A and B are shown apart, each in its own frame.
Chain A
């Protein structure tokens, strides 16, 4: 009976572990995939590992992640342990209050914590800058930096803040389990309280400290949303990089780096465990405290050490804050430019090339969507120099006076831009923007699952495809499909037309036409044949085509949206000249050809547009299929059918929001 029970329990435990590890195994397997899909296996290769080490963006974010996690864990473990002892020695009432406050970071949604801290930092920086100006005016001995920005320092503060509670929660119970008389006994026997701490308390709570540190570290590594709001424009963690990639797709290089990290940690933990087990078997005692520690303890207990002891905590805290302030304001001697674009939206060789040519360091970050970028800018978290928003967002930013006029004199390559793409409605006098890439929106469908060719938006509202249709998960694009189908302008401000479009979507949703609302998940769903039809961007269709030849693309007959993403500079950008150099570099024909090849999005550069087929043939040794070229860079007659988005008045934006929320409910 007993044995059967234990066998059953082992099977159960094994199943739970299978459940925990199945997705991870899958991820590891696909890091060895030849193609760039996470669903379609095309053969074994180590290419992603090779290209990983050339991917500076990922490597740098890994470095930042490890650095911030290690520092935050060390600080949080130290501070948390002492705080826990302090809490434990308090009377019940104040302890309960502090414990409640302590658990706020864990009780709160991460996104709220992140936003709250961001608001706080920005408010503090504004206050600080007033203070510094006043202070520098009053005296001349010390010059305080007037402009603080979000950066590594604030990222670190945020991580420490959400880590400490986990340490306290691990150490606290160990303290409560400890026999209180032990400390008293030690003191009766002549120990000072410092000695009591080292010799009695510490050994008792050691396991708690270790587990607290491990938890804190894990939390640090896994966090993305709090980092997203507190890291500013110059540093990004691995999790943020991954999140930023979700506008397009996550590269398999990320699978590769995750596999490497996973294996490293696994090995480390195995080694530690084996050593511990070994020590246990041989009955070795824990090592005695090192003489240094003993001397330190003795010093701290001596009358001379008393002043130190008293002020130690305060001094440490102050020192930490000063370091952080210096870190946040540290001005690098090397010129930099902070760029925010979309994930997988640049051939990264260009960054390396630009840095080598100009000596300007590029901090390259990615946002998840125009709206996410907007909220970063609004909350003050995104102090970038160059951003690459889409047309309608640009006009909104211009409207809100958030963009700086460019100095076209230092962007000679602007003259290469096709005249069709100059003076577009979002920037009619072309004072703020240099176009980056453009494309169309259309319907992607699987020809093996759909018998006849699709030509109309009606397919997205058709019962015969119920459960097989993917719809945009953003209000503007989703509404645009319905508006196009109904024959209305994509920029309509007529509430009745918008209502009608919304009812069309809502009705289709209630009839179960939509399998899901997606953004980047569409790659996986269409490539793997999990859905038959989806509306998405032309360039991304070409990426999917590489993994599934059965996919077809059409710009529906009713017309569609064509979009332009353009580079702009934020108002008051601290690195204006560097930003001009970057924009000019990216606007060159050579850079546009490279990007076109990497992105499958069309370039606005006239020479690049003309030269691309030849460039392709030279690079791959085969001619470019003219059909593919037409999808990539839609001919003028297709563009004539399409309409670009314009910014909508605030009241209509609010209506969009309400309708979208209603659709979601």
Chain B
């Protein structure tokens, strides 16, 4: 019976070999090819130059992931405590924003965060800016929020938060209630129940949430362009520049993406060690 069912995997294995593995192999080949053809390691020897960009990207993605986790975990937890109708509605509401193109959503954030944007106008009107000026002795006309690393992180959190909430929620909602009761019966207080029972059991969801937020955050380019003002480049920008932008150099682009991929995969493998690896990402 087992062997019979495992044959079902064959078509997809063929598919993956064709459309996942083969294209990746082409990227690897590209990374080791010079622009004029022929084998070279030059594309990698320039990598040191971009160390700053690598560091900055991983830092921003890490911050975004941590914030997503800090918002996403409590939300998932609270949602799982509500009634079934609320839960269903909430799930839908979390997926729904992804139906509006993410470029448009990010454009909207621009009008909110601009120097003359909605938030600053609101702060002006309620006198927050004057209050701040009189308290600190500064002379601000607005709070500078756009074109900062903070704005980029906000964009990442905004766009990828659902990817954190959904997997965590899907794990928490299925937790065996009797385990929690047992813990209480054995004298654990609320904090201990959470720390000793709920948190470890929800770890698989947390891990897959972290993956789903961290990976796109490292490689995004649209968000940093629009909200970061392009003054500080991150990895996605660098890669995009080689493939689509002014610095056309697909070989270098392939090399940079390869290095990024390796780092990301190593991070994920190390992280999944903590989670015993068996349970993976769960959406919804």
Give residues in A with beta carbon < 8 Å to B.
6, 9-10, 12-13, 16-17, 19-24, 26-27, 38-39, 79-80, 82-83, 85-90, 96, 98-99, 101-113, 115-117, 119-120, 123, 157-158, 161, 164, 166, 169-170, 172-173, 176-177, 183-184, 187, 193, 207, 210-212, 214-215, 218, 221-222, 224, 238-239, 242-243, 246, 250, 254-255, 258, 261-262, 265-266, 269-270, 273, 276-277, 280, 313-314, 316-317, 368-369, 371-372, 374-375, 378-379, 467, 473-476, 509, 514-518, 521, 524-525, 528-531, 656-658, 660-661, 664-665
- Starting from the known contacts A109-B261, A172-B280, 4 additional A-B residue pairs (CB-CB under 8 Å) come to A90-B9, A161-B15, A183-B1, A214-B95
Taken together as a complex, chains A and B put the C-alpha atoms of A514 and B230 apart, in Å, by 10
Taken together as a complex, chains A and B put the C-alpha atoms of A19 and B93 apart, in Å, by 12
Other-chain contact of A269, B92, B117, B231, B282 (Cβ < 8 Å): B92
With A111-B221, A224-B103, A255-B104: A123-B26 Cβ-Cβ less than 8 Å: yes
Nearest CB in chain A to that of B98: its residue: A218
Other-chain contact of B16, A13, A102, A258, A518 (Cβ < 8 Å): A102
Give residues in B with beta carbon < 8 Å to A.
1-16, 19-24, 26-27, 30, 49-50, 52-53, 71, 74-75, 78-79, 81, 84-85, 88-90, 92-112, 114-118, 144, 146-147, 158, 161-162, 170, 174, 208, 211-212, 215-216, 218-219, 221, 225-226, 228-233, 236-241, 243-250, 253-254, 257, 260-261, 264-265, 268, 277-284
B96 touches A110 (CB 8 A): no
A239 touches B101 (CB 8 A): yes
B72 to chain A, nearest CB (A): 9
Hey, which chain A residues are within 8 Å of B95, CB to CB? 214, 218
A157 touches B19 (CB 8 A): yes
A101 touches B280 (CB 8 A): no
Taken together as a complex, chains A and B put the C-alpha atoms of A531 and B281 apart, in Å, by 43
Other-chain contact of A109, B233, B239, B249 (Cβ < 8 Å): B239
With A19-B158, A99-B280, A273-B89: A107-B268 Cβ-Cβ less than 8 Å: yes
Other-chain contact of B24, A116, A214, A660 (Cβ < 8 Å): A116
Taken together as a complex, chains A and B put the C-alpha atoms of A28 and B236 apart, in Å, by 29
B158 touches A20 (CB 8 A): yes
Hey, which chain B residues are within 8 Å of A212, CB to CB? 283
B268 to chain A, nearest CB (A): 7
Taken together as a complex, chains A and B put the C-alpha atoms of A291 and B269 apart, in Å, by 47
Taken together as a complex, chains A and B put the C-alpha atoms of A176 and B8 apart, in Å, by 17
Other-chain contact of A13, B90, B114, B118, B146 (Cβ < 8 Å): B90
Hey, which chain B residues are within 8 Å of A656, CB to CB? 246-247
Nearest CB in chain B to that of A280: its residue: B84
B52 to chain A, nearest CB (A): 5
B108 to chain A, nearest CB (A): 3
B114 to chain A, nearest CB (A): 4
A20 touches B108 (CB 8 A): no
Other-chain contact of A104, B20, B174, B226, B248 (Cβ < 8 Å): B20
Nearest CB in chain B to that of A659: its residue: B247
Taken together as a complex, chains A and B put the C-alpha atoms of A250 and B92 apart, in Å, by 28
Other-chain contact of A119, B1, B4, B27, B90 (Cβ < 8 Å): B27
Taken together as a complex, chains A and B put the C-alpha atoms of A22 and B158 apart, in Å, by 11
Other-chain contact of A90, B6, B53, B116 (Cβ < 8 Å): B6
A16 touches B245 (CB 8 A): no
Other-chain contact of B284, A214, A258, A658 (Cβ < 8 Å): A214
A13 touches B229 (CB 8 A): no
Taken together as a complex, chains A and B put the C-alpha atoms of A286 and B280 apart, in Å, by 29
B147 touches A516 (CB 8 A): yes
A523 to chain B, nearest CB (A): 10
A-B contact pairs, 10 of them (CB 8 A): A23-B109, A90-B9, A106-B212, A112-B219, A119-B30, A273-B85, A273-B88, A371-B244, A658-B247, A665-B233
Taken together as a complex, chains A and B put the C-alpha atoms of A490 and B52 apart, in Å, by 31
Taken together as a complex, chains A and B put the C-alpha atoms of A650 and B250 apart, in Å, by 15
Hey, which chain A residues are within 8 Å of B79, CB to CB? 13
Hey, which chain A residues are within 8 Å of B250, CB to CB? 115, 375, 378-379
Nearest CB in chain A to that of B144: its residue: A467
B279 touches A173 (CB 8 A): yes
A262 touches B219 (CB 8 A): no
Hey, which chain A residues are within 8 Å of B232, CB to CB? 664
B97 touches A89 (CB 8 A): no
With A109-B257, A110-B219, A254-B104: A12-B23 Cβ-Cβ less than 8 Å: no
B11 touches A317 (CB 8 A): yes
Hey, which chain A residues are within 8 Å of B277, CB to CB? 96
Hey, which chain B residues are within 8 Å of A107, CB to CB? 211, 215, 261, 264-265, 268
Nearest CB in chain B to that of A154: its residue: B19
B10 touches A101 (CB 8 A): no
B98 touches A222 (CB 8 A): yes
Hey, which chain A residues are within 8 Å of B226, CB to CB? 521
B177 to chain A, nearest CB (A): 16
With A115-B27, A375-B250, A474-B246: A250-B107 Cβ-Cβ less than 8 Å: yes
B71 to chain A, nearest CB (A): 6
Hey, which chain B residues are within 8 Å of A17, CB to CB? 93
Other-chain contact of B5, A10, A13, A86 (Cβ < 8 Å): A86
Taken together as a complex, chains A and B put the C-alpha atoms of A164 and B11 apart, in Å, by 12
Other-chain contact of B247, A103, A106, A475, A665 (Cβ < 8 Å): A475
Taken together as a complex, chains A and B put the C-alpha atoms of A184 and B2 apart, in Å, by 10
With A20-B97, A85-B8, A101-B16: A106-B215 Cβ-Cβ less than 8 Å: yes
Taken together as a complex, chains A and B put the C-alpha atoms of A24 and B23 apart, in Å, by 36
Hey, which chain B residues are within 8 Å of A375, CB to CB? 243-244, 248, 250
Hey, which chain B residues are within 8 Å of A104, CB to CB? 20-21, 24
Other-chain contact of A116, B23, B104, B247 (Cβ < 8 Å): B23
With A83-B8, A262-B96, A664-B233: A112-B1 Cβ-Cβ less than 8 Å: no
A238 touches B101 (CB 8 A): yes
With A20-B161, A85-B8, A517-B229: A530-B115 Cβ-Cβ less than 8 Å: yes
Taken together as a complex, chains A and B put the C-alpha atoms of A80 and B8 apart, in Å, by 10
Taken together as a complex, chains A and B put the C-alpha atoms of A176 and B277 apart, in Å, by 13
Taken together as a complex, chains A and B put the C-alpha atoms of A4 and B86 apart, in Å, by 19
Nearest CB in chain B to that of A528: its residue: B116
Taken together as a complex, chains A and B put the C-alpha atoms of A494 and B132 apart, in Å, by 51
With A20-B158, A82-B8: A665-B52 Cβ-Cβ less than 8 Å: yes
Taken together as a complex, chains A and B put the C-alpha atoms of A108 and B112 apart, in Å, by 31
Hey, which chain B residues are within 8 Å of A99, CB to CB? 280
A518 touches B229 (CB 8 A): yes
B280 touches A169 (CB 8 A): yes
With A26-B108, A86-B10, A273-B89: A120-B23 Cβ-Cβ less than 8 Å: yes
Going nearest first, the 6 A-B pairs with the smallest beta carbon separation are: A516-B229, A86-B9, A211-B284, A109-B219, A23-B108, A86-B8
B261 to chain A, nearest CB (A): 6
Other-chain contact of A16, B71, B106, B114, B239 (Cβ < 8 Å): B71
Taken together as a complex, chains A and B put the C-alpha atoms of A509 and B232 apart, in Å, by 11
B106 to chain A, nearest CB (A): 8
A277 touches B261 (CB 8 A): no
Hey, which chain A residues are within 8 Å of B78, CB to CB? 9-10, 12-13
Other-chain contact of B92, A80, A98, A246, A273 (Cβ < 8 Å): A273
Taken together as a complex, chains A and B put the C-alpha atoms of A89 and B1 apart, in Å, by 9
Hey, which chain B residues are within 8 Å of A265, CB to CB? 96, 99
Taken together as a complex, chains A and B put the C-alpha atoms of A173 and B280 apart, in Å, by 7
B219 touches A86 (CB 8 A): no
Hey, which chain B residues are within 8 Å of A379, CB to CB? 250
A372 touches B114 (CB 8 A): no
With A120-B19, A242-B101: A529-B27 Cβ-Cβ less than 8 Å: no
Taken together as a complex, chains A and B put the C-alpha atoms of A86 and B229 apart, in Å, by 47
B104 touches A21 (CB 8 A): no
A529 touches B8 (CB 8 A): no
Hey, which chain B residues are within 8 Å of A211, CB to CB? 170, 283-284
With A193-B1, A239-B101, A473-B225: A115-B253 Cβ-Cβ less than 8 Å: yes
Taken together as a complex, chains A and B put the C-alpha atoms of A101 and B15 apart, in Å, by 11
B253 touches A87 (CB 8 A): no
B245 touches A371 (CB 8 A): yes
